[in-house]
Amino acid sequence: MNQQVNNPLHGITLEMIINHLVAYYGWSQLGQLIEIRCFNFEPSVKSSLKFLRKTPWARQKVEELYIKTVREIERKSNVHETK
């Protein structure tokens, strides 16, 4: 059995990642953080999925931002819990 214990994206779909980032940042800020056309001009989840599925470098940037964002949210949550 191939376990992916250390893979923070295990079980997370690209659509889930996009929805999370859009909910957290909004399209405008997301387009500033990752300057790709599908985030800046008539953005939609559908167009983003289409582009990111065939553009590995862009998908990697989105996945990296997602991991960074989730870790930041967790860090902030842990700081508030210890107070």
Q: What is the CA radius of gyration of the chain?
A: 14
Counting the structural domains of the chain, the total is 1
- 21-78 confidence digits (pLDDT tens): 999 999 999 999 999 999 999 999 999 999 999 999 999 999 999 999 999 988 888 8
Are 59 and 14 in contact by the 8 Å Cβ rule? The answer is yes
Query: Distance from CA of residue 10 to its chain's centroid?
Result: 13
d(CA 53, CA 83): 42
* Structure-token match 């405008």, residue found: 28
What CATH number has the domain bearing residue 33?
1.10.720.30
Polymer length of the chain: 83
What is the pTM (predicted TM-score) of this model? 0.84
Are 31 and 43 in contact by the 8 Å Cβ rule? The answer is yes
- Domain extent at residue 49: 14-82
Other Cβ atoms within 10 Å of 78 Cβ, number: 9
Residue 7 lies in a domain: no
Residue 56 lies in a domain: yes
